[in-house]
Amino acid sequence: MSEILRLERTRNYLQPGDVGAAMRLWKDYVHRPERQLWHDYEWGNVHWYCCGSPLEARALLDTVMQAMSSRNARELRQVVSRFDAVWNQPSLPYDPGEG
């Protein structure tokens, strides 16, 4: 945690709280219903302009993990990988009889 605070103070691409905000944005995004994710993929999301893009937040997390020490990056990577696993879950097969 202290390394994240140090990076947020010393890197010109980070502001205080950016990593936490990126983590929350990515977590909330991957837990959205699949239909909303598909709509975002097809049409985009106008709220990203004001509230931040979760895809840019995920890219920021990658950048931060590269800037961190190996041990701390590994810890952050474990947390992020749990959200990535939700993002990468296969969809249920389509059943035209349902619905």
CA distances to 5, 48, 54 from 10, in Å: 9, 26, 23
Place of tokens 């696993």: 85
Q: Using H for helix, E for strand and C for coil, what is the string for 11-64?
A: CCCCCCCHHHHHHHHHHHHHCCCHHHHHHHHHHCCCCHHHHCCHHHHHHHHHHH
> Tens of pLDDT along 43-69?
666 566 667 888 889 999 999 999 999
- The residues spanned by each domain of the chain are 2-87
Residue 9: what pLDDT? 94
pTM: 0.77
Task: Specify whether the CB–CB gap between 91 and 37 falls below 8 A.
Answer: no
